[in-house]
Structure 1
Amino acid sequence: MAAVGLAAWRSCVSCGRAAAAFDPHHGLGAILTRKPQRAPWRLPACRQKTSFSFLNRPDLPKLAYKRLKGKSPGIIFIPGYISNMNGTKAMALEEFCRSLGHAYIRFDYSGVGNSEGNLEECTVGKWRKDILSVIDGIAVGPQILVGSSLGGWLMLHAAIARPEKVMALVGVATAADALVTQFNQLPVEVQKEAEIKGTWNLPSKYHPDGFYRVQYSFIKEAEHHCLLHSPIPVSCPMRLLHGMKDDIVPWYTSMQVADQVLSTDVDVILRKDSGHRMKEKADLQLLTYTIDDLIDKLSIVVP
């Protein structure tokens, strides 16, 4: 894995802080000043209530989604573990895409939010199918996938499965293999207890109970979708944002992803004071400027 010392430091006007941008194939870069090419985007003053639609799938749960029609490339937001499509980042990106006139989709995984399905029966593999269903059944034309936490893991799988439609990736605290890695780092007796009980209580400050109850079967099935043990066949441009104060998914996980993907157009941007969710105003501005840059880059080759 590449060391932090290989990072090139960029001063981000949008966030007013230093952020590290790592390109594993080009080494040290020049110090750059980021300037948005469009009028500065601002967070919406309040959230508006919006209706959602359902994607009908034969023999699979219906998926709730919200879609904005607009220009290509479209943006698809892939939420984190048990997160729904009404989170801060999902809603902020909708406002951002609306302001630019670009197509946008946010959705709920099966078993989560307004989608059908039983959460206890859900797996990484089933959620992977959910994303592919959205790409195949709702999205029109080329897409930029924005994956948050576990959604970052799943966006990699979607890019592998649909390279002709996925033009770029943006990960926020990308949790590739994270649940499996964390479980395997537990003491053997704790792993055995989870196997016997059938559940693992994953500590989390984001859940009112102080933990998520994860099915043991979910962990074992997720092992079949791990990616970091070998080269990842993703060749599109990729931007990986990560907070250095992330206490859920270590920031070096994004470095591992950057090291493993085949793409030569990869940046890892580290924010020193940000945590796992990266939903503060400066984090969201960094995210939207990053997507804006990718849209400009892709507009050269995408009609």
Structure 2
Amino acid sequence: MTQTEYFTSPQGRRLAYHRSPGKGPGVVFLGGFKSDMDGTKAVHLEAWAQATGRAFLRFDYSGHGQSSGAFTEGCIGEWAEDAMAAITKLTEGPQVLVGSSMGGWIALLCARAMPERLAGLVTIAAAPDFTEDAMWEGFDAEQRAELAANGQVALPSEYGEPYIITRRLIEDGRAHLVLRDPLTLPFAVRFLQGTADEDVAVSVALRLLEHATGPDMRLTLVDGADHRFSDPDCLRLIERSVEEVLERAGSA
């Protein structure tokens, strides 16, 4: 297990990370909404990278895990800034990004903003544009009124305490949508999605596959897999997908 280290982003946020040295292209794990870098998938991939001699990075966005800031003060744009700062400061050369849930959206924003730093992309239950298409579109009139009046609304969560969704999160999300404008992914891409995912529907994965353009994109559906996508078979599929993307990038 690597040690937790910290760096300060150009925006002044103190971000926690674990970095393993190794050969490139390196692999960077991007976690989900209100998740952290100590999740099953991130730690499993770190062990895989160390066993194979591959450079690896996992980190916490601001307001997540061990990084500075309050979760309710964050937004998609800031978390994308955190990811780009981590890639720029803590890695060398092109990287394969592995984005889980919201991390899939963040990875797509990185691909749009800094394509020269990506060697490939693997997403796991990617949730692009979820603040608009899942949250805002799913709010009833009472919730929208509460958001307007109080600046936030509480949503139930299967993962613990309710999610506090802020008006800033919704409004900032609209400035970072990726499914409305052309999305070019000029490298190998593997989208992974479970059919039993109750947080991100299969239709989202299909829409992303249809919307994006690139020379080498594939979607794999896993029958019965849920949003966590963390059982042994799913973890091995993530490994194989990363290995395949690395092979396509010319560095198996």
TM-score, normalised by the number of residues in structure 2: 0.95
The residue aligned with 1:270 is: 221
- Consecutive aligned runs of 4 or more in structure 1 exceeding 4 Å deviation: none
How much does 1:188 deviate? 2.6
Aligned match for 2:190, one of 239, 242, 261? 239
- Do residues 155 (structure 1) and 134 (structure 2) align? no
List aligned pairs for 1:22-101, cutoff 5 A.
48=1, 50-101=2-53
CA distance in 2: counterparts of 1:185 and 1:264, whole angstroms? 34
Query: Is the CA contact (8 Å cut-off) linking 1:235 and 1:261 kept in structure 2?
Result: no
The residue aligned with 1:189 is: 142
The number of residue pairs the alignment matches comes to 251
Larger Rg: 1
Which of 1 and 2 has higher RCO (CA within 8 Å, sep 6+)?
A: 1
How much does 1:78 deviate? 0.2
CA distance in 1: counterparts of 2:139 and 2:33, whole angstroms? 20
The residue aligned with 2:172 is: 221
CA distance in 1: counterparts of 2:168 and 2:249, whole angstroms? 40
| Alignment RMSD | 1.5
Distance 1:58 1:179, change over 3 A: closer
CA distance in 1: counterparts of 2:187 and 2:246, whole angstroms? 13
Partner amino acid for 1:200? V
CA distance in 1: counterparts of 2:188 and 2:207, whole angstroms? 16
1:243-270 CA distance string (max 9 Å, x none):
1111111111111111111213111100
User: Percent of pairs identical after alignment?
Assistant: 32
1:271-294 CA distance string (max 9 Å, x none):
111001101111101110111111
CA distance in 2: counterparts of 1:96 and 1:282, whole angstroms? 14
SS in 2 for 1:174: coil
- Do residues 108 (structure 1) and 60 (structure 2) align? yes
The residue aligned with 1:199 is: 152
Structure 1 stretches lacking a partner, 5+ long: 1-47
The residue aligned with 1:143 is: 95
The residue aligned with 2:76 is: 124
Query: Is the CA contact (8 Å cut-off) linking 1:171 and 1:240 kept in structure 2?
Result: yes
TM-score, normalised by the number of residues in structure 1: 0.80
Structure 2 stretches lacking a partner, 5+ long: none
SS in 2 for 1:247: coil
How much does 1:135 deviate? 1.1
Aligned match for 2:116, one of 158, 161, 164? 164
